[in-house]
Amino acid sequence: MKSLAELNAIKQRVQENSNNRKNASDNDIKVVIGMATCGIAAGARPVLNAFIDEVAKRKLQNVIVSQTGCIGMCKYEPIVEVFVPGQPKVTYVKVEPTMVPRIITDHIVNNNVVAEYTIK
């Protein structure tokens, strides 16, 4: 952190994300990032931040980004699970921040799973 303005921007982003979680409904799309030590070591924190930033940038009100502990497949970390109401869970593996815009655009917005990012 280099300035008070940067700290305030982070605070506002966290508060907006927190408010979204409090107002979550059964119709919301949920994006869950595995943040156990294996996920963090593999780079899950930048992936989490990329999802939060992309959802905020696009002003997607029906998307909740959260974290969880171990998902149980350490060799595939960072792992992201996407829960769309009425559809099967989709698990993305070895996710990098550069993959996030495509997952948001194709899967979350246009309802097309990015199969090449999932477990084979």
Q: What is the pLDDT of residues 25-40, one digit of tens each?
A: 778 999 999 999 999 9
- The packing angle between helices 4-22 and 44-58, to 10°, is 80
CA angle 58-20-71, nearest 5°?
90
**What topology is assigned to 24-117 in CATH?**
Glutaredoxin (3.40.30)
Domain coordinates in residue numbering, the chain: 24-117
Q: What is the pLDDT of residues 76-104, one digit of tens each?
A: 999 999 999 999 999 999 999 999 999 99
pTM of this structure: 0.80
End-to-end CA distance of the chain: 39
